[in-house]
Structure 1
Amino acid sequence: MKLIKRLCGILTTTLIVNSLAACNVNVNVGNKNTYIKEIKIGVTLYKQDDVFVSTITKNLEEIAKEKENEGKYKIIINIVDAKGSLINQSNQVDKFVAQNYDVICVNMVDRTAASMIIDKAKSANIPVVFFNREPVEEDMERWNKLYYVGAQAEQSGELQAGIIMNAYEKDNRIVDKNGDGKIQYVMLEGEPGHQDALIRTEYCIKTLTQKGIELEKLADDTANWQNAQANTKMTQWIKNFGNKIEVVFCNNDDMALGAIQALENSGLTEKPLVVGIDGLPKALEAVKNGLMIGTIINDSKKQASAIFNIAYTLATNGDVNSVEGLEKGKYIKTPHTQVTSENVDLYLENKK
């Protein structure tokens, strides 16, 4: 009889534990809060070695950990690298769908191919938060559970132009080194077709010309956001144009740093001004050391926070329209900050 009671007790305990596990409830240990649910957020990146994109995901993981420490939800952030392959990214989304993820966050390999991802997610009724690479407007209208987090690309181009314009107005010889009344420049562009690359280039040049500053383009080419490619392009331009280059505009900081390396190895007597976008720590150091005239901070923390806030709200059945900064029910675009030698110390301190 005692044996039967013991077996019944074991069976009852097993059933209770299994029931708790099925409901995603953790047993309370000491004074720690229990998790009442497990949230799964899948993140697929076009390339994990993109410096700015990897910064966003690091911030995303930190934000999720802080939220999890509140003790209400167990939060799983699964970040995978598509390595520039749309096929890889499609397969990764398939896995997230098969494993019943609550939300899928996508940094598209090809922003024009978002419909494939959207159809997969819509069939499974899993919301999608796109980031950094904005799908075309027609795709964003395909479903009411699609969101996008990025930055105000027009503003970044305008602010980048502003750095050169301010230097020109302060002392035009700083920029117009040959004194011919116009600025000879080269432009290192991001990936072809990326909305930020197109917009940053357009608004940078347009802003300067609208202010009456005459420009002469010596060369422009894509370096796909990559340091090494920018170094190679810049090395060739130095051979072609030498001291004629007065300004090097770069769609991002990693390319700007690649250009600087080429300039440092060139032996040029008159080095051009280099300006970037993103506010990477190494770029801020370059501004501090006088190797760059300035950069534009593209706030990765704010973007990571926006991605998480949307995903968390959706996963917990909250009101997504209550998420701060959401526009048109699906867009969050963060502002930029201009950085030069005059204020770089403030931002270097914040990066520590």
Structure 2
Amino acid sequence: MKKFKKFLAIAISVMMIAALAGCSSNGSGDGGKDAIKVAVFLYKFDDTYISTVRQSLQSIQEENKGNVTFEFFDGKGDQATQNDAIDTALQKDFDLLMVNIVDIGAGQTVIDKISAADKPVIFFNREPKTEELKSYDKARFVGTNAKDAGILQGEILADIWNDKKDTIDKNGDGVLQYVMLKGEPDNPEAVARTEFSVSTLKDKDIKVEELGLQVCNWQQDLAQTAMEAWFSKYGDKIEAVIANNDGMALGAVAALQNQGYNDGKDKYIHVVGVDATEAAQDYINQGYMSGTVLQDAPAMAKALYECATNMASGKDAVDGTSYKYDDTGIAVRIPYAPFIKK
């Protein structure tokens, strides 16, 4: 009888341990709570800034093991490819979608797809129209205020004009001759950065003359080609290069370096970008570029994670966080900051 009781006690203990182990393996180790599953759609993996956001999200996943899993989908710069990936993901058990949309003009189509599946979605970085986002009560946006990047670019150049005018107004005519490298024709970020970088200079009573504007679709190689053509035509009559992102700024620097400029020696044309990528920061610190605007990828990823955690559990995106909506009531804005040589 004693042996039977001992056997029964051991058996019960084993069963209890197994049950506890089962609870632990089915959840995140915090009482059986399942990790939220997030499908992340990127407009293309090889964009420098977007790849940094991706790496930041992967770091968050590592730091929060058992709480969140991200699965990434490469749109390859093609909206049809991204649409197919979204259709496939909506058939799976993802709790939430994050969409860095390829073509902003496809915003309503993508929102309608996700709305029909009744899944919460956070658009980020590339912003659909506000009225489209508001058409679905489970849609939010996390990004920046596009014009602020342009304003900061203008302020960086204005400071150089006011403090080191001899390095920028080379012909002494009191006019800043510049070329503009634009991201995409109708992309709101590109449009705002282009407009406000120049209007900020004008607001500070600096006369400007545009020698050229080229759409380069955010790509370094296209920007290098454009800069080579401009340099062949204008030479050092170009006093500044304004690029909508660092990739294009680096392309401009490469073209200038091929002509013996911006290599840390005497001949120099001021170049400013946006994103503060690692490569751009290195160029600025070496004296190859004049400045850029920090678009904080880790801060973007953190906001995406916190908002996603809320929305996946049925809460409002900003509930219990330090974030606030702007005047749209649906968008969280991550601030920009200037980056120049220290």
Tell me, what secondary structure is at the counterpart of 2:90?
helix
Q: Structure 1 CA distance, aligned partners of 2:100 and 2:178?
A: 31
- Which consecutive segments of 4 or more residues in structure 1 shift more than 4 A? 32-35
Aligned residue type for 2:153: Q
Report whether the alignment pairs 1:46 with 2:43: yes
Equivalent residue number for residue 303 of structure 1: 300
Q: Where does 1:222-241 land on structure 2 (aligned, <5 Å)? A: 222-241=215-234
2:324 pairs, out of 323, 326, 335, with 326
Aligned residue type for 2:77: G
Give the CA deviation at 1:80: 0.8
Number of aligned positions between the proteins: 324
- Percent identity between matched residues is 34
Q: Structure 1 CA distance, aligned partners of 2:329 and 2:27?
A: 38
Tell me, what secondary structure is at the counterpart of 2:287?
coil
Report whether the alignment pairs 1:99 with 2:96: no
| Residues 41, 82 of structure 2: 8 Å contact kept | yes
Aligned residue type for 1:325: Y
Q: Structure 2 CA distance, aligned partners of 1:211 and 1:96?
A: 49
Give the CA deviation at 1:33: 5.1
Q: Relative to structure 1, is the Cα distance of residues 309 and 180 closer, same or farther in structure 2, using a 3 angstrom cutoff?
A: same
Tell me, what secondary structure is at the counterpart of 1:88?
helix
Report whether the alignment pairs 1:313 with 2:314: no
Equivalent residue number for residue 201 of structure 2: 208
Tell me, what secondary structure is at the counterpart of 1:178?
coil
Equivalent residue number for residue 347 of structure 1: none
Q: Where does 1:52-91 land on structure 2 (aligned, <5 Å)? A: 52-68=49-65, 73-91=66-84
Deviations 1:2-52 (A, max 9, x none): xxxxxxx9xxx8xx98xx98xx861699xx656421311001111111000
Equivalent residue number for residue 170 of structure 1: 163
| Residues 27, 34 of structure 2: 8 Å contact kept | no
Deviations 1:293-328 (A, max 9, x none): 111111111111111111111112334241332314
2:136 pairs, out of 124, 143, 146, with 143
Q: Where does 1:238-249 land on structure 2 (aligned, <5 Å)? A: 238-249=231-242
Q: Structure 2 CA distance, aligned partners of 1:214 and 1:99?
A: 56
Q: Where does 1:182-221 land on structure 2 (aligned, <5 Å)? A: 182-221=175-214
2:259 pairs, out of 266, 287, 306, with 266
Report whether the alignment pairs 1:278 with 2:271: no
Q: Structure 2 CA distance, aligned partners of 1:320 and 1:295?
A: 30
Q: Structure 2 CA distance, aligned partners of 1:125 and 1:202?
A: 38
Equivalent residue number for residue 336 of structure 2: 336
Equivalent residue number for residue 348 of structure 1: none
Q: Which runs of 5+ in 2 are unaligned?
A: 1-10
| Residues 307, 318 of structure 2: 8 Å contact kept | no
Tell me, what secondary structure is at the counterpart of 1:221?
strand
Give the CA deviation at 1:152: 2.1
Q: Give the TM-score taking structure 1 as reference length.
A: 0.86
Q: Give the TM-score taking structure 2 as reference length.
A: 0.88
Equivalent residue number for residue 349 of structure 1: none
Q: Relative to structure 1, is the Cα distance of residues 231 and 223 closer, same or farther in structure 2, using a 3 angstrom cutoff?
A: same
Over aligned residues, Cα RMSD in angstroms?
Answer: 2.6
Deviates more, 1:266-275 or 1:297-306: 266-275
Tell me, what secondary structure is at the counterpart of 1:225?
coil
Give the CA deviation at 1:340: 1.4
Equivalent residue number for residue 117 of structure 1: 110
| Residues 186, 218 of structure 1: 8 Å contact kept | yes
Aligned residue type for 1:82: G
